[in-house]
Amino acid sequence: MQTKVNIIISFLVLSAWIAAGQVTPTINTDSIVRARSGGPPPELNLPSFTPASQPSGNINWDSVKISSDALEEQVDYKSVDSMFFDTKNKQVHLYGQAEVKYQSMTITAEYIMIDWNENIMMAESRQVLGKTVGKPTFEQGGQKFTANKLRYNFKTYKGIIYEAQTMQEGMNIVGEKGKFFGAGEDTTKANVIYNKNAIFSTCELDHPHFGIKSSKQKIVQDKVAVVGPCNLVIGDIPTPIWFPFGFFPLKTGQRTGLIFPQGYEYSEAWGFGLENMGWYFPMGDHWDLKLTTDVYLKGTVRVHGASSYKKRYKYTGSASASFAYLRTEVNGRPKYSPSMSIRWSHNQDSKAHPYRSLGGSVNLQTSDYQRSNQTDAQSRFQSSLSSNMSYRQRFDQPFDLSVSFNHSQNTNTRDVTISFPTFNFQTQNLFPFKRKIKTGGERWYERVQMRYTSEARNQFTAKDSTLFTQKTLDDAKFGVRHNVTAATSFNFLKYFTVSPNANYKEVWYFKSVEKTFDPTLTIEYDTITSPDGEVQIIADTLKYGQILNMEDFGFKPFREYNTGVSMSTKVFGTLLFKRGKLRGLRHVITPSFGFNFTPDYTNPDWGYFKTVRQSLNSDEEIRYNIFENNQLGGFGTPSAAGRQMNFNYGFGNLLEAKVFSKRDSTLKNVKLFNSISLGGNYNFAADSLQWSQVSISGNTNFFNGITSFRFGITLDPYDFNRTTGSRINQFNLDTQGKLLRVVGWNSAITTNMTVGRLRDLIKGVNTDQRVANTPRDEEGTPQQEDLLSLFENFTISHNFTVQSRYDTRSQKDTIQITTNSIASRGSINLTPNWSITVGNFGYDFQSKRITYPDFTFSRDLHCWQMGVSWQPYFDTYSFYIRVKPGKLDFINIPYRKNIQDGRRF
């Protein structure tokens, strides 16, 4: 039991009385009081007092004088083992987890001695079974350090520290001997330590693995550490790297400062270079900015800017921009290729505003920046980039307004499409015929709902290398679209749902095309000289006129409308079995039938389609759409299909089975097919080929969702031309004797699984239950059960796609395997410190080659890390030994061969 003794006040009063001559001690002052733990403390046998002159009445406390050497506040101390009070030498000895508190200072140690004569406290550790226990720990005003021995003066706030260790803003400072100058209760001053033979390191051990060592240092708490001549030491071995002096910022919070290079590289193509060297700028309480650069001696430069920002309950986000100016040599002459990457992510807190929101992400690059500067598998395989950043305003009325930036990019074709700005305005569903005062039940017309949406868009399309050019601005497309829809639904004969609808669309374009025929002949002349010197001129007519396109700028709208009605129902079929594993089958059919009408927009009265002569050799004219060069995605152009009076039909199917499980004697529902759909239409307005092709598609899953299977079949009731492959107005039943012919089909099998799921599938174990019951170590990491446990999170994927189509050249149906590849990725933890990461490793059975393997081996070296990455496809690699991220992470030994020096394998 801990014993806490507060005796100093009594001791000071006693000293004051003796000094004033009021009392005379009559006992031996060499008596020692000892209190042991394990029981209540014994009574303190204080000296008895004999008055020098017997006073009359009570003592006058105002006449008692307090020594000028007395402490200002109470000192609290305690220990677990025992205490010794030496009244002769005015000392207190504390043993076993001792603790002393005075003002804001706290000292703990295995042994502490307090000397009231000198106002000094000494703390030491002890040796127990060859181990050091109870190292002194000092805390005051945010300053904390440990030592093997220390002395501290209560009055002057000064002390001496032996083998001290302290952590300051991620820096571990270990010194041989130091002097401590405390600020006490003065908040305008900071604690200062003068050290001798100290080492600065980010390794938190008592004896760091590495660091910057110097003979003299000055440490100002939460401000700076200043050192004299210093040397980089690794494993107690001095290196040739010396610094004449050094400054280590110890301030808390954001602060500006230099960013040391994070990598050093020598490239045959670029020369020697420094990577990620720059400066950090704190731009306020809510955001910061980091500017870095990669510089190579032969002229290659990369510039990076990164910023992050956050405001509680408002928003959070980050933004970065990178510009690369890469040098290559063509025929011995240098050539520079610029490229750029822009990223931005912004998220608004849901509590920020009830009606306004801003959020999304931007990921844009030019000149294939990602593949030109990075070699990892993810960067090489990512074939598409997209952006969506929008501002939305919701009003009290049922209206929404949004402004957005949208972008899509294909890194294979290098096509970029940017839509900015895009304005969207829409209403919620409106019920114009709903009665305000209801009497009786709801009428069918009250369910009629209407909705209006509009969109105004400006769109740029270009290659990623010509995105920021004047031509991209000149080729911009812009337009406005309005949509009005009206629909309702009601039950018919109890089991049928009828849904009539009407739609109106109006699009405003500001560019159209006008085509004219130029009858000018294009003639090419050749001069031929015969052996006898005769010259002949031969004229060859290349073109019999040509079609000229002229853009007409001005307001040019087009309008479309259609109306229709549909009816659907559900039919259930069930078949039950009393015995066996299969206990039942269920088939759900969802038939739907409908009719819709669309006018003929090719009629010249609409003015959307015109004709132009094609050639001088023929009077034949071709029809063209005046909006064909200004089409916006989603806006469309008038349909060229003619009048549509379609009767539509469709059948959706769902197949399920009820299976009996002997393991737990329960019945489980299993989907045999998630869906099987069939559909087509008949056009009453067409003069030929009224029946459309019939489409059948379906999908299902196998092996607990590990493998998915989908298929599609296209059937046609009409025969076709074997030479051109086009349909002819003759039924296949009349020419071939079959009701439908197979136009084409396709199927795909996709498998995605981990090694753990595959093992569980073979063993018949539920993966979720196994993961929950897997034994774990003290850190919560699952314990390995067998060799396959190393690959527990390894992902294996296989894609197989096959299709059939008619080949007009061979006039035969051909079956082609379009995709057949397998790939794996994941990480393997060989030991707690060794790991292997496979970014990608696979095989393409079509091209018969390995698909871009990417390997990384890493080793945790406590405060260091070592790793090597290798991409054999381009013969690129990277090796490094570096300090873990921290104030000294610029200590890095890299060696790499980057993509500019690699070669395709």
pLDDT digits (tens, 9 = 90+) for 793-845: 788 899 999 998 877 777 788 889 999 999 988 888 888 899 999 888 899 99
- Per-residue pLDDT band for 643 (boundaries 50, 70, 90) equals very high
- Per-residue pLDDT band for 644 (boundaries 50, 70, 90) equals very high
Q: Which residue has the higher pLDDT, 75 or 583?
A: 583
Among the listed ranges 67-76, 564-573, 609-618, 679-688, which one has the minimum average pLDDT value?
A: 67-76
Does 55 sit behind a cis peptide bond, omega within 30 degrees of 0 on the bond before it? Answer: no
Tokens found for residue 477:
């497309």
The total number of residues shown for the chain amounts to 905
Confidence (pLDDT) at 53: 37
Please give the average per-residue pLDDT across 573-596, as a whole number.
92
Short-list 295, 262, 301, CA closest to 280? 262
Q: Which amino acid is at 386?
A: S
Q: What is the reported pTM?
A: 0.74
DSSP per-residue codes, 121-158: EEEE-EEETTEEE---EEEETTEEEE-SEEEEETTT-E
Residue in the structure block whose two tokens are 């096959």: 802
* Residues 456, 508: Cα–Cα separation, whole Å: 9
Residue 145: Cβ-neighbour burial (10 angstroms; 0-12, 13-18, 19+): buried
Q: Which residue has the higher pLDDT, 325 or 704?
A: 325
- Per-residue pLDDT band for 71 (boundaries 50, 70, 90) equals low
Which residues, 6 or more positions from 604, have their beta carbon under 8 angstroms from its beta carbon?
Answer: 610
Q: What angle do CA 559, 563, 565 make, to 5 degrees?
A: 165
* Residues 670, 662: Cα–Cα separation, whole Å: 15
Among the listed ranges 183-192, 204-213, 847-856, which one has the minimum average pLDDT value?
A: 183-192
* Residues 554, 626: Cα–Cα separation, whole Å: 13
Longest Cα–Cα distance in the chain: 161
Please write the tens of the pLDDT for every residue from 326-375. 988 877 788 888 999 999 999 999 889 888 999 999 999 998 888 888 87
Helices of type H across 69-132: none
Identify whether the C-beta of residue 705 lies closer than 8 Å to the C-beta of residue 712.
Answer: no
